Amino acid sequence: MRFTQKARQKIIDDYLAKSGANMFVPAEFIDWLADKPEHPCWKLWHGVDADEAKRKWMIDQVRTFVSGLRIVCSEQVITNSNVKSITVREYPAYISPAQNRQNGGGYVRFDPENAAAMAELQSQAAASLRVWLDRYRGAVEHSGHDATPIEALAKALAGMEDETP
């Protein structure tokens, strides 16, 4: 079951009002839900088989395990037998292509020379930047900084025309 952002906000606000809590603590929310099978969120955490919940937890742990692995690539530009420049770039060792996630997903070894793999990574980078902007734009602008360059970068990585001036 998926909840819209508006529905999730209402659920959390309702929980805080009914529980009298002034801070949302996930463990306390789970405990509060335990005896409320009529609550729309009850099935998410209490309506699942223990073995199924354990398996989902283990899969999340494995995702965390693989997500931080990195590869480092260097490129040298040589002119007249002299090294002109060395560029070092770091990439994830494995990526999870978005198109496969509906079917359980999986990770493939990342090859920066593979155009499809690079396009996938750039698409994921654009999506992450958009999520970052949705969360932090207010803080960036409140501090007197301009978030437009990050927005332009997200658009460029997604292959969209940058319509900002």
Query: pLDDT 10s digit of each residue in the chain, 165 long?
Result: 789 999 999 999 999 999 999 999 999 999 999 999 999 999 999 988 999 999 989 999 998 999 889 999 888 777 777 777 888 999 999 999 998 887 877 889 999 999 999 999 999 999 999 999 999 999 999 999 999 999 999 999 998 765 544
pLDDT at res. 165: 46
Q: Are 154 and 129 in contact (CB under 8 A)?
A: yes
| d(C-alpha 126, C-alpha 81), whole Å | 39
| d(C-alpha 56, C-alpha 31), whole Å | 19
Q: Are 97 and 120 in contact (CB under 8 A)?
A: yes
pLDDT at res. 162: 53
Domain ranges of the chain: 1-47, 114-165
pLDDT at res. 105: 78
pLDDT at res. 161: 61
pTM score > 0.75 for this model?
A: no
